[in-house]
């Protein structure tokens, strides 16, 4: 407080000593300040969250019960949108694709991030560690759309660099983006390449927090190589793994940019994801009610999966 | 002076916070004009806001037209807003978002893909203005092919005046053709001639050469092959009406009897045996390595590949000429021919023009812009190079293609003049859903065996039924 040296509650005028505050009853103004000041500081965030997050969520839930094309007035249709969405084969396929994508992409992302984090942290000199940390994180700061456009050229069946490289070792051209398996593989590959850097950094942080003594103790007990990682690193990294997996799954469930730019969901519906269907329903077919209904379903799925993860974490996460 | 340190720190911290606060206020105040949204066309003043698809450079390029317009109509202030988009579908999405945000433009440059969506939901018909200014507009219609105009008729009313257009013609690399020992294809070459040409090109060229490159999209993809085979993936019918326009402006046109109140695409047609036949033909090209499995996306990336002699043929419109020229191709390096004949030689085309929005503040001013933009003076300013085909026949001339080629540039407008049944891109008001239904099944249809083709067409039929049942 600015009045520290002038109030009778302190002896701050004495050189070299901090003022001592007596535990007196604060004034009415002080009590008001204590009560409202935290809220005043929180207000901008609360208002921002309310306007830009909470309101759209509420509006989206409400919109799921209406038929609305932006231009005409909305019409209340009850649960019709949900019924139509559930019966729509494209929506069903997109949800299956999304789940498959999440399982494969998240497993690859976490596996790659963990493996590289251990490698970088253990085996490399400090300057190389810095280099790899930056190099692995770099794709994350690039625009997903730009990366995907670039990758489309790389994976072009006729003229792409990838097939040219394969041809050098005698492998015939692979139809990367024009077959269901090829396009799904490319979408996953591009997504994992672009996103594993974040998990990598989390694991690097997690690894740094494991005490060296624990490894030394394990060594004294005769643990070497893989056994150290299996019995020391992985259990002690489990809180980091939980955070990384929750974030990776939530992000992967919302994948849009890569499949949209690389394949537009094709061939067929092979790379169409749930968020793509939301976008197509809302902004291309002008069915905002149906788009909202799909959004509500996706939100419930994300919430259920996240809750399940935290529930399971009680059994698998080891806190020091 | 340790006793004053605390007070000094307090003072400094407070000063710093005050300075920070003052700074934020200052920066906010300094950037106030951007924060008000006054820069958004249509907001804050009564100027006519016009949305086009393109970049800021495209908007700047329109300035010469705006200046010319200002000389004729100094009382109408015009702002052009260029909206960058991957394709027309993307552009329409952004326009609809502007509508939802309550900031729609007054006039929008709309291509065939969105013509019926706008006519059904957003655009104001031009009928009253055309009747009023009929004498003035006669010269325009005399210079523009009625097929282009008919593409903008919807339920008997006209919603846009065609400014530019493109048909799916067949570009070929003359060096590749020569190396295959072939001459320029004849005007009435058939789909079997085309296949033989591709086979000869493939035989004469190395492995990284692609005889036929095509993309999976509504324009220039599978549709020209369907049209050539006298079918389409949607059943095509026509609305009654429109006599006021045809009798008023095209009474003596030899194709007058073909004209209607506009196209209608009300039912799916993917189960038509001719659709199967067309897809099977393309499947054969893919299977034999004569054509690629079509990828999504536009054709801009192809220009470099075509210019480096790695592609033999590809369907495209007049918009390709300037690109090929800039990529280093000379007049003799490439040429263009009509799309190969099958049961018909009906081509596919797309056109574009300005639509006045129903919400336009001043429709009379908007009409003046539309009218001026259709004038020869304005179109000559907008199309100094052959980066599209002007809707006015008189402008598709030797002068436009001098120095760029192709030698047979007459093919572009002759596509309409010689094949007057040439039709627009099938684009009902539910175009976005229809396009998705088409594109998502094309790759599968041409990439596997006959069973996969049948499954893909059944899936397309089902998707189209759903798309057309939905309201736009």
Q: What is the CATH number of the domain that holds A260?
A: 1.10.3720.10
Helix or strand holding residue B24 (H, E): helix B5-30
A38, A123: one domain? no
Q: Is residue A16 part of a domain?
A: no
List residues bridging with B335 in a β-sheet.
B172
A18 pLDDT band (50/70/90 cuts)? low
Q: Is residue A5 part of a domain?
A: no
Judged by average pLDDT, the poorest of A22-26, A215-219, B21-25, B304-308 is A22-26
* Residue B293 burial (CB count, 10 A): 23
* Interface size, chain A vs chain B, as Cβ–Cβ contacts under 8 Å: 103
Report the C-alpha gap between A52 and B342 in whole angstroms: 56
Strands B210-212 and B334-337: unpaired
A104, A173: one domain? yes
Strands A75-76 and A66-67: antiparallel
Query: Could you say which of B14, B122, B292 has the minimum Cβ distance to residue A157?
Result: B292
In the predicted structure, residue B2 carries a pLDDT above the cut 60: no
List residues bridging with B153 in a β-sheet.
B158
Show the tokens assigned to B258. Answer: 């073909």
Domain enclosing residue A45, as ranges: 31-63
Smallest Cα distance from A109 to chain B, Å: 27
Smallest Cα distance from A30 to chain B, Å: 19
Contact A158 B210 (CB under 8 A): yes
Report the C-alpha gap between B197 and B200 in whole angstroms: 5
Query: Could you say which of B6, B100, B441 has the minimum Cβ distance to residue A12?
Result: B6
B404 pLDDT band (50/70/90 cuts)? very high
Find the mean pLDDT for residues A214-243.
87
Q: What percent of chain B has pLDDT over 70?
A: 92
A39, A131: one domain? no
A84, A200: one domain? yes
Report the C-alpha gap between B470 and B133 in whole angstroms: 38
Which chain A residues are Cβ-neighbours of B459 within 8 angstroms? 268
pLDDT in tens, A28-82: 778 888 888 899 999 999 999 999 999 999 999 999 999 998 888 899 999 999 9
A158, A54: one domain? no
Report the C-alpha gap between B456 and A97 in whole angstroms: 18
Q: Which DSSP letter does residue B153 get?
A: E
| Residue of chain A minimizing CA distance to B121 | A71
| Residue of chain B minimizing CA distance to A269 | B440
B151 pLDDT band (50/70/90 cuts)? very high
Q: What percent of chain B has pLDDT over 90?
A: 77
Show the tokens assigned to B226. Answer: 């369907």
Q: Is residue A161 part of a domain?
A: yes
In the predicted structure, residue A11 carries a pLDDT above the cut 50: no
> Is the minimum CB–CB distance between A46 and chain B shorter than 8 Å?
no
Assembly ipTM: 0.79
| Residue of chain B minimizing CA distance to A263 | B296
Strands B48-53 and B107-111: parallel
Question: What's the confidence (pLDDT) of residue B385?
Answer: 94
Contact B444 A267 (CB under 8 A): yes
| Residue of chain B minimizing CA distance to A181 | B444
Which chain B residues are Cβ-neighbours of A180 within 8 angstroms? 444
Q: Are B433 and B218 in contact (CB under 8 A)?
A: no
Q: Is residue A3 part of a domain?
A: no
Smallest Cα distance from B345 to chain A, Å: 29
Closest CA relative to residue B53, chosen from B98, B99, B84, B93: B84
Phi, psi torsion values for B349, nearest 5 degrees: -135, 165
A241, A95: one domain? yes
Contact B3 A283 (CB under 8 A): no
Higher-confidence residue: B3 or A99?
A: A99
In the predicted structure, residue B14 carries a pLDDT above the cut 50: yes
Q: What total number of domains does chain A contain?
A: 2
Q: Are B336 and B169 in contact (CB under 8 A)?
A: yes
Higher-confidence residue: B18 or A106?
A: A106
Contact A284 B305 (CB under 8 A): no
In the predicted structure, residue A236 carries a pLDDT above the cut 50: yes
pLDDT in tens, A163-176: 999 999 999 989 99
Question: What's the confidence (pLDDT) of residue B221?
Answer: 95
pLDDT in tens, B40-63: 554 566 899 999 999 888 888 888
**Vertex B184, ends B178 and B185: CA angle to 5°?**
125
Strands B334-337 and B169-173: antiparallel
Report the C-alpha gap between A182 and A276 in whole angstroms: 19
Cis peptide before A271 (omega within 30 of 0): no
Contact B463 A284 (CB under 8 A): no
In the predicted structure, residue A24 carries a pLDDT above the cut 90: no
Q: Which DSSP letter does residue B257 get?
A: G
Contact A12 B459 (CB under 8 A): no
Burial of residue A228 (number of CB atoms within 10 Å: 0-12, 13-18, 19+): middle
Smallest Cα distance from A2 to chain B, Å: 6
Judged by average pLDDT, the poorest of A15-24, A91-100, B134-143, B147-156 is A15-24
Computed over every residue of chain B, the mean pLDDT equals 91
Report the C-alpha gap between A12 and A6 in whole angstroms: 8
Question: What's the confidence (pLDDT) of residue A50?
Answer: 94
Q: What percent of chain A has pLDDT over 70?
A: 92
Show the tokens assigned to A255. Answer: 């994948």
Contact A70 B99 (CB under 8 A): yes
Higher-confidence residue: A38 or A1?
A: A38
A259, A136: one domain? yes
Chosen from B24, B270, B443 to mutate, greatest number of chain A CBs within 10 A: B443
In the predicted structure, residue B101 carries a pLDDT above the cut 90: no
Which chain B residues are Cβ-neighbours of A16 within 8 angstroms? 2-3
Q: Is residue A14 part of a domain?
A: no
Which one of A118-127, A148-157, A310-319, B170-179 scores highest in mean pLDDT? B170-179
Closest CA relative to residue B326, chosen from B342, B307, B341, B339: B307
Q: Is residue A187 part of a domain?
A: yes
pLDDT in tens, B326-336: 999 999 999 99
pLDDT in tens, B202-214: 999 877 899 999 9
Find the mean pLDDT for residues B434-456.
94
The backbone region for B315, taken as left when phi is positive above 0, alpha when psi lies in -120 to 50, beta otherwise, is beta
Smallest Cα distance from B283 to chain A, Å: 13
Burial of residue B255 (number of CB atoms within 10 Å: 0-12, 13-18, 19+): middle
B4 pLDDT band (50/70/90 cuts)? very low
* Residue B315 burial (CB count, 10 A): 26
Q: Is residue A198 part of a domain?
A: yes
Find the mean pLDDT for residues B195-201.
97
Which chain B residues are Cβ-neighbours of A70 within 8 angstroms? 96, 99-100
Higher-confidence residue: A314 or B188?
A: B188
Largest CA distance in chain A: 88
Query: Could you say which of B121, B432, B444 has the minimum Cβ distance to residue A284?
Result: B432
In the predicted structure, residue B3 carries a pLDDT above the cut 50: no
Contact B440 A265 (CB under 8 A): yes
Report the C-alpha gap between B227 and A259 in whole angstroms: 31
Chosen from A10, A15, A68, A158 to mutate, greatest number of chain B CBs within 10 A: A158
Question: What's the confidence (pLDDT) of residue B37?
Answer: 53
Which chain B residues are Cβ-neighbours of A13 within 8 angstroms? 3
pLDDT in tens, B323-379: 999 999 999 999 999 999 999 999 999 999 999 999 999 999 999 999 999 999 999
The backbone region for A286, taken as left when phi is positive above 0, alpha when psi lies in -120 to 50, beta otherwise, is left
Chosen from B122, B295, B309, B470 to mutate, greatest number of chain A CBs within 10 A: B295
Closest CA relative to residue B141, chosen from B374, B346, B313: B374
Find the mean pLDDT for residues B397-420.
96
Which chain A residues are Cβ-neighbours of B294 within 8 angstroms? 178
Contact A284 B294 (CB under 8 A): no
Buried b (16+ CB within 10 A) or exposed e, B211-226: bbbbbbbbbbbbbbbb
Which chain A residues are Cβ-neighbours of B216 within 8 angstroms? 266
Show the tokens assigned to B110. Answer: 């709309």
Which one of A146-160, B83-97, B103-117 scores highest in mean pLDDT? B103-117
Closest CA relative to residue B140, chosen from B423, B353, B364, B360: B353
Higher-confidence residue: A34 or A253?
A: A253
| Residue of chain A minimizing CA distance to B302 | A159
A101, A194: one domain? yes
Contact A263 B296 (CB under 8 A): yes
Show the tokens assigned to A222. Answer: 């005769």
> Is the minimum CB–CB distance between A178 and chain B shorter than 8 Å?
yes
Smallest Cα distance from A274 to chain B, Å: 15
In the predicted structure, residue A262 carries a pLDDT above the cut 50: yes
Task: Answer positive or negative: Cα dihedral of B60, B65, B70, B76.
Answer: negative
A39, A89: one domain? no
Contact B301 A263 (CB under 8 A): no
Contact A284 B456 (CB under 8 A): no
Domains of chain B plus CATH, in order, are 13-166+350-401 (3.40.190.10)
Smallest Cα distance from A70 to chain B, Å: 6
A161, A100: one domain? yes
For B294-324, the DSSP string reads PBSS-SHHHHHHHHTT-EEEEEE-TTHHHHH
Chosen from B296, B429, B444 to mutate, greatest number of chain A CBs within 10 A: B296
Chosen from B289, B294, B429, B440 to mutate, greatest number of chain A CBs within 10 A: B440
For chain A, the DSSP string reads -TTTTTSTT--TTSTT-------PPPPHHHHHHHHHHHHHHHHHHHHHHIIIIIHHHHHHHHHTTEE--SSSPPEE-TTHHHHHHHH-HHHHHHHHHHHHHHHHHHHHHHHHHHHHHHHHHHHS-HHHHHHHHHHHHHHHHS-HHHHHHHHHHHT-TTT-HHHHHHHHTTPPPP-TTTSHHHHHHHHHHHHHHHHHHHHHHHHHHHHHTS-HHHHHHHHHTT--HHHHIIIIIHHHHHHHHHHHHHHHHHHHHT--HHHHHHTTT-STTTT--HHHHHHIIIIIS--HHHHHHHHHHHHHHHHHHHHHHHHHHHHH----
> Is the minimum CB–CB distance between A69 and chain B shorter than 8 Å?
yes
Closest CA relative to residue A94, chosen from A224, A232, A259, A222: A259
Contact B441 A284 (CB under 8 A): no
In the three-class reduction of DSSP (H, G, I as helix; E, B as strand; rest coil), residue B348 is classed as: strand
Show the tokens assigned to B12. Answer: 């400094």
Question: What's the confidence (pLDDT) of residue A284?
Answer: 82
Question: What's the confidence (pLDDT) of residue B39?
Answer: 54
Question: What's the confidence (pLDDT) of residue B44?
Answer: 60
Find the mean pLDDT for residues B65-80.
95
pLDDT in tens, A106-161: 999 999 999 999 999 887 888 888 899 899 999 999 999 999 989 998 998 888 89
Question: What's the confidence (pLDDT) of residue A9?
Answer: 41
Show the tokens assigned to B78. Answer: 């015009």
A100, A176: one domain? yes
Computed over every residue of chain A, the mean pLDDT equals 88
Q: Is residue A196 part of a domain?
A: yes
Show the tokens assigned to A163. Answer: 């097939």
A45, A107: one domain? no
Question: What's the confidence (pLDDT) of residue A54?
Answer: 94
CA distances, A34 to each of A2, A29, A298, B14, B379 (Å): 16, 9, 41, 19, 70
Report the C-alpha gap between B264 and B268 in whole angstroms: 12
Contact A268 B443 (CB under 8 A): yes
Question: What's the confidence (pLDDT) of residue A230?
Answer: 85
């Amino acid at each position: 407080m600015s009045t520290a040296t002038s109030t009778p509650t302190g002896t701050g005028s004495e050189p070299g000593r901090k003022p001592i505050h007596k535990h007196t009853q604060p004034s009415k103004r002080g009590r008001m300040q204590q009560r409202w000041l935290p809220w005043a500081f929180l207000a901008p965030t609360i208002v921002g969250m309310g306007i830009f997050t909470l309101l759209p969520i509420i509006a989206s839930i409400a919109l799921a019960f209406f038929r609305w094309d932006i231009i005409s007035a909305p019409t209340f249709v009850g649960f019709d949108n949900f019924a139509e969405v559930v019966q729509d084969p494209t929506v069903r396929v997109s949800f299956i694709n999304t789940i498959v994508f999440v399982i494969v992409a998240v497993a690859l992302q976490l596996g790659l991030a963990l493996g590289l984090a251990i490698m970088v942290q253990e085996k490399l000199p400090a300057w190389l560690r810095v280099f790899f940390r930056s190099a692995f994180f770099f794709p994350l700061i690039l625009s997903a759309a730009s990366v995907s456009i670039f990758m489309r050229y790389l994976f072009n069946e006729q003229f792409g660099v990838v097939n040219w490289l394969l041809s050098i070792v005698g492998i015939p051209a692979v139809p990367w983006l024009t077959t269901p398996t090829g396009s799904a593989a490319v979408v996953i590959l591009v997504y994992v390449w672009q996103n594993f850097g974040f998990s990598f950094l989390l694991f690097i942080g997690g690894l740094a927090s494991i005490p060296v003594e624990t490894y030394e103790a394990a060594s004294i007990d005769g643990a070497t190589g893989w056994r150290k990682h299996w019995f020391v690193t992985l259990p002690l990294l489990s809180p980091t793994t939980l955070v990384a997996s929750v974030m990776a799954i939530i992000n992967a469930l919302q994948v849009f940019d890569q499949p949209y730019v690389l394949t537009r969901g094709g061939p067929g519906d092979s790379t169409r994801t749930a968020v793509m269907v939301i976008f197509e329903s809302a902004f291309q077919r002008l069915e905002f009610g149906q788009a909202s209904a799909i959004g509500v379903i996706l939100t419930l799925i994300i919430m259920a999966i996240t809750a399940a993860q935290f529930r399971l974490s009680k059994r698998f996460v080891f806190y020091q | 002076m340790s006793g004053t340190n605390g007070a000094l720190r307090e003072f400094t911290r407070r000063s710093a916070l005050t300075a920070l606060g003052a700074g934020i206020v200052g920066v906010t105040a300094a950037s106030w004009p951007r924060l008000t949204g006054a820069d958004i066309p249509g907001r804050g003043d009564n100027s006519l806001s016009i949305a086009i698809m393109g970049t800021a450079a495209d908007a700047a390029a329109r300035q010469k037209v705006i200046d010319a317009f200002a000389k004729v109509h100094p009382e109408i202030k015009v702002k052009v807003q260029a909206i960058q988009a991957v394709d027309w579908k993307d552009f329409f999405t952004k326009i609809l978002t502007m509508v939802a945000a309550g900031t729609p433009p007054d006039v929008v440059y709309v291509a065939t893909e969105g013509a019926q969506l706008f006519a059904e939901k957003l655009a104001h018909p031009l009928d009253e203005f055309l009747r009023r200014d009929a004498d003035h507009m006669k010269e325009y219609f005399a210079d523009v092919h009625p097929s282009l105009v008919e593409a903008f008729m919807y339920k008997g009313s006209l919603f846009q005046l065609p400014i530019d257009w493109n048909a799916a013609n067949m570009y070929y690399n003359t060096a590749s053709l020569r190396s295959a020992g072939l001459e320029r294809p004849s005007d009435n070459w058939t789909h079997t001639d085309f296949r033989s040409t591709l086979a000869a090109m493939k035989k004469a060229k190395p492995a990284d050469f692609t005889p036929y490159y095509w993309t999976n999209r509504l324009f220039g993809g599978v549709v020209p092959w369907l049209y050539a085979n006298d079918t389409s993936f949607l059943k095509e019918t026509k609305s009654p009406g429109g006599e006021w326009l045809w009798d008023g402006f095209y009474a003596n046109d030899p194709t007058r009897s073909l004209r209607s109140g506009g196209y209608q695409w009300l039912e799916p047609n993917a189960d038509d045996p001719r659709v199967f036949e067309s897809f099977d033909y393309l499947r054969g090209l893919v299977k034999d390595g004569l054509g690629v499995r079509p990828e999504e996306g536009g054709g801009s990336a192809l220009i470099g590949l075509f210019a480096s002699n790695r592609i033999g043929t590809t369907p495209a419109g007049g918009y390709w000429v300037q690109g090929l020229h800039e990529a280093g191709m000379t007049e003799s390096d490439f040429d263009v021919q009509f799309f190969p004949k099958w049961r018909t030689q009906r081509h596919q085309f797309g056109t574009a023009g300005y639509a006045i929005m129903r919400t336009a503040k001043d429709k009379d001013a908007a009409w003046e812009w539309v009218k001026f933009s259709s004038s020869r003076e304005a179109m000559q300013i907008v199309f100094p190079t052959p980066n599209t085909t002007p809707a006015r026949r008189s402008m598709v001339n030797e002068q436009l293609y001098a120095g760029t080629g192709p030698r047979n540039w007459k093919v572009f407008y002759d596509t309409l003049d010689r094949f007057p049944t040439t039709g627009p891109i099938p684009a009902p008001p539910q175009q976005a859903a229809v396009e998705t239904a088409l594109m998502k099944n094309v790759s599968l249809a041409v990439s596997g065996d006959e069973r996969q083709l049948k499954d893909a067409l059944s899936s397309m039929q089902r998707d189209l039924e759903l798309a057309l049942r939905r309201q736009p």
